[in-house]
A and B are shown apart, each in its own frame.
Chain A
Amino acid sequence: MSSVQTVVDHSALKVNQTGIVATVLIAFVGSFFSTLFLALIPLLGIALLAGTFVPKLAPFKQLYFKVLKPRGIVKPHPVQDRPEPHNFAQGLGGVFLGIASILLVSVPVAGLAVALLVAVLAFVNLAFGYCVGCQIFFQLERRGLLRA
């Protein structure tokens, strides 16, 4: 097994997942009152995709590193881990939210359903530590389709 020397702060991941779940829920509940709330879904998709390629643009992670961690609101939880699967999972979430945003224009039910599924997967990761995107990363890496 190749030696793992990088450390990932899992608290930053948890804050990110909490942000995803909360934003989708606000968009979903808010859409009962005004369709303007649905604009949060493409915004979240853009934020996740931007954060995947430029970590400084990840809003929830920045919230953690700039506010929550320095003020001691959320304690750090460093784990010897690889960041690539988590970034891949975040990017996948961004892609699906992009698809949801397109569907929201033509088939709102499907768009909302896809956005809710992204929130469900983020919640599963947050609550049970099971990262579906990381499992997909493992399968692709195993088949030689992806290299970290």
Chain B
Amino acid sequence: MSAQLWALAVAGAVVLAATGLESFRAWRGRRLAAGVSAAPAGEPYILYFTGDTCTVCKTHQEPALARLGEVRIHKVDAVEERDLADRFHVYTLPTTVVMAADGRAVHVNYGYAPAPKLVRQLADARGAALRSAATA
């Protein structure tokens, strides 16, 4: 096999390994952040981790959050509020955390989360609050 094809195979293997590693990191982050609590509120809300350096936040995530309507968005600078970012294992921007009304993290999204996904997760967070009230 020629050097070019070997190079293509090596580059492909590195891309596959990096994709696997990224998936593992996101899975691990979600597992560690699930159930972490922050300030409670009357309604489910979204913790939105962003930063000055995040372009996708401005071009994709913020328009998606604007489409959610009346949902409370708590914007957090991941560089300045490092402790809070560390608590939710924020390793990439944007990161969105869907919080239940009792202040418990229900869903964590590392990277861009489209509006329909956030709507589903918010509905789930409302359901989680109802389930928690029913069993209390």
B75 to A1, Cβ gap below 8 A?
yes
Interface size on B, residues (CB 8 A): 31
Report if B70 contacts A (CB, 8 A).
no
A81 to B79, Cβ gap below 8 A?
no
Q: How many A-B residue pairs have CB under 8 A?
A: 87
Report if B53 contacts A (CB, 8 A).
yes
Known: A113-B14, A120-B15. A1 touches B7 (CB 8 A): no
In the complex, which residues of chain A have a beta carbon less than 8 angstroms from the beta carbon of B11? 112-113, 116-117, 120
A130 to B53, Cβ gap below 8 A?
no
- Report how far A71 CA is from B55 CA in the complex, Å: 27
**Interface range for A:** 20 to 34
Q: A100-119 interface mask toward B, CB cutoff 8 Å, 1 = contact, 0 = none?
A: 00000000111111001100
B58 to A79, Cβ gap below 8 A?
yes
B7 to A113, Cβ gap below 8 A?
yes
A1 to B3, Cβ gap below 8 A?
no
Residue in B53, B60, B111 whose beta carbon sits within 8 Å of that of A137 in the complex: B53
A116 to B93, Cβ gap below 8 A?
no
For residue B73, give the distance in angstroms from its CB to the closest CB of chain A. Answer: 13
B51 to A138, Cβ gap below 8 A?
yes
Residue in B50, B53, B80, B111 whose beta carbon sits within 8 Å of that of A84 in the complex: B53
A129 to B56, Cβ gap below 8 A?
yes
Report if A59 contacts B (CB, 8 A).
no
A112 to B93, Cβ gap below 8 A?
no
- Report how far A80 CA is from B58 CA in the complex, Å: 8
Report if A36 contacts B (CB, 8 A).
no
- Report how far A110 CA is from B11 CA in the complex, Å: 9
B53 to A138, Cβ gap below 8 A?
yes
In the complex, which residues of chain B have a beta carbon less than 8 angstroms from the beta carbon of A28? 4, 7
Can you list 21 A-B pairs, Cβ within 8 angstroms, ordered by A? A1-B50, A1-B77, A2-B77, A32-B4, A80-B58, A81-B58, A82-B52, A86-B55, A108-B7, A110-B7, A113-B6, A113-B14, A129-B59, A129-B60, A130-B56, A131-B55, A134-B54, A138-B79, A141-B51, A142-B82, A148-B52
